[in-house]
Amino acid sequence: MRRYIISLIAMTLGLVILSFVVMYAMPDRWLLVMPFMAIYFGIITWLQHFIVTRAMYKSPRIFVQQFLGITVGVLAVHLVVIAAYILTHPTHAKTFVIAFLIGFLISWVFETIATIKFIREEKRKRE
């Protein structure tokens, strides 16, 4: 779990740095919310990983239910965040959605790789 936390912090800092690169490279496209988006994705990714890994120790049926439930829940939270931002800041909607999708894609790939590694390690321990 320690390696995961270090990797997650690195991913979050990478997203923060990426937002500041956008600030310097394309100041007209930079939004104040971009660095906070990185922290948001870090927290959501950690919560998702924490719940999924705890479910691994339960029965396979419970794992599948919790995995699907947390996936749908996270997607619903993301949709609410996107909708709330678009409704409150319609002039920056396009830039926000593009930045959000980039952050989502990076965190989704990170979490998928981390979950696969966790499953392989657990499988190796049980053999």
pLDDT of residue 96: 92
Instruction: Give tens-digit pLDDT for 52-93.
Output: 888 888 888 888 899 899 999 999 999 999 999 999 999 989
Whole-number Å distance between alpha carbons of 101 and 106: 9
Alpha-carbon distances, residue 65 vs 52, 58, 72 (angstroms): 10, 11, 11
Q: pTM, whole model, 2 decimals? A: 0.86
pLDDT tens-digit map of 100-112: 999 999 999 999 9
Q: How far is CA 29 from the centre of its chain?
A: 22
Q: What is the mean pLDDT of the chain?
A: 89
pLDDT at 9: 92
Alpha-carbon dihedral 70, 33, 99, 71, rounded to 10 degrees = 0
**Per-residue pLDDT at 83:** 96
